[in-house]
Amino acid sequence: MYSTLTAWYGPALRHPSTDGGELRGFLFGRMILMVSKTDQLRRIRDAVINLQGSALADARRQGGWLPVLGEGSHDAAVMFIGEAPGENEAKQGRPFCGASGRVLDELLSSIAVPRETVYVTNIVKDRPPKNRDPLPEEIAAYAPFLRKQIAIIQPKVIAPLGRFSMEWVMRNYGLEEKIQGISKIHGQAFVAKADWGEVTVIPFFHPAVALYTASQKATLLEDFKILKQYA
């Protein structure tokens, strides 16, 4: 699948591609730019790999960890945004592949949504030491990458997992006045304006809560039902 690089290159061009998708580009003077979503996401990955001035990126290089960019469908209707990679994730370079990931898989199965049809990422792309909460300056340092990922995928629904991503996403989409504690607004849909149209933000508890509290798991299972209509 291909998508636009940025909106300011000029008039949009669209052509059918051989894989049944669509090539999109822009006429820039006499130059046509066709950049696939995969290539755009690869550029973001390369930028994170080479990120300078971030203590988490330095720790990743020293510790032999991997950055965790995200995985799933580049045309996903639903994009999940967790907090930051844990140890398993930083070893494998994949989001939600440890205990919390197993909960996420179960939640998706409960609504019959295959994981490969959604996109899963985090606000922070490198592992905070000892799995501590991400710091505001770390969230700010990785936010430009997340913003670009969202703009490339253009999901119908953004589903923040946990309070850190809930706050970031709601602020990013002008929903700051609606922010309350996650225990008040989990599972509620907030419609916001994105560059590509309407986006619905639905915050959920972080799947890790289900590892410790059975009632929270029941809440997550109930909340996830709302996603069926979008996925």
Interface with ligand URA by CB under 6 A: which residues? 68, 82-86, 89, 95-96, 100, 122
**Residue least distant from ligand URA (Cβ):** 82
Which secondary-structure segment (H or E) carries 99?
helix 99-110
Contacts of 8 (CB under 8 A, 6+ apart): none
CB nearer to ligand URA: give 25 or 134.
134
| 208 vs 102: CA distance, rounded Å | 10
For the chain, report the end-to-end CA distance as a whole number of angstroms. Answer: 18
CB nearer to ligand URA: give 25 or 98.
98
Per DSSP, 112 falls in state: T
CB nearer to ligand URA: give 35 or 208.
208
| Shortest distance (Å) from residue 2 CB to ligand URA | 27
Residue corresponding to tokens 């905070």: 128
CB nearer to ligand URA: give 199 or 208.
208
| Shortest distance (Å) from residue 99 CB to ligand URA | 8
| 112 vs 121: CA distance, rounded Å | 20
| 153 vs 194: CA distance, rounded Å | 12
CB nearer to ligand URA: give 96 or 190.
96
CB nearer to ligand URA: give 24 or 206.
206
CB nearer to ligand URA: give 26 or 96.
96
| Shortest distance (Å) from residue 100 CB to ligand URA | 4
| 58 vs 147: CA distance, rounded Å | 22
| 161 vs 95: CA distance, rounded Å | 12
Give the angle 88-89-90 at the CA atoms, nearest 5°: 95
| Shortest distance (Å) from residue 67 CB to ligand URA | 11
| Shortest distance (Å) from residue 81 CB to ligand URA | 9
| Shortest distance (Å) from residue 133 CB to ligand URA | 10
| 86 vs 95: CA distance, rounded Å | 9
Report in angstroms the alpha-carbon separations of 219 from 2, 65, 161, 186: 37, 33, 13, 9
| Shortest distance (Å) from residue 56 CB to ligand URA | 14
